[in-house]
Chains A and B, each alone.
Chain A
């Protein structure tokens, strides 16, 4: 079956530091890949997505590249801000199947001023 594995959190950084949150996946077909973010007290919202191999999703300074050869979709940001503190969820949706997204367990990011 499909699965998503994320690095354990929390990730604690100082403002303006470089961020990487690792995500790897297992899928039987050719999934679309997503990063969702959950800010404190809010619901999950889509941050970025990529629908095919080598695509790069980007939004709000965050980027992730769909790497089929390593089955990865790592999230990166060059300079984090305090306002980026949130829980980040990697997810996949299998094309040609039910499309129901499968989520990772989430990685908490804490950014200190």
Chain B
């Protein structure tokens, strides 16, 4: 497919467990963003990759959250010791090298921590 894909679409886990969320960006897009969206809120920035490196991770809420993009394409957001407050929709977006350009969003992963 030509768009951004995210897997899984839904993830239900128990408090304290570890989860991984995957993002497959549009081919050739060097920039990749992770956002988190809670009910009734706008997307909240988590981390931004330019190529393989995390150019800005200032939005990660604490050290339980970590993301990688080892080959400059697919990215994985990892959450350790999940808490109920982590429940949200996690959005991934990619864009071309033009920093003022459009972000292309995936459909999101809905994470529910019981």
Contacts and interface: CB of A to CB of B under 8 A. Distances in A.
Overall SS of chain B's interface: loop
Nearest to B92: A43
Contacts of A100: 33, 45, 48, 56
The size class of the interface chain A forms with chain B is 20 to 34
B100 A45 contact: no
Contacts of B41: 105-106
B53 interface: no
The size class of the interface chain B forms with chain A is 20 to 34
Contacts of A103: 35, 42-44
Nearest to B44: A103
Interface of B: 3-4, 33, 35, 40-45, 48, 55-56, 91, 93, 99-100, 102-108
Interface of A: 4, 32, 34, 36, 42-46, 49, 51, 89, 91, 93, 95, 98-106
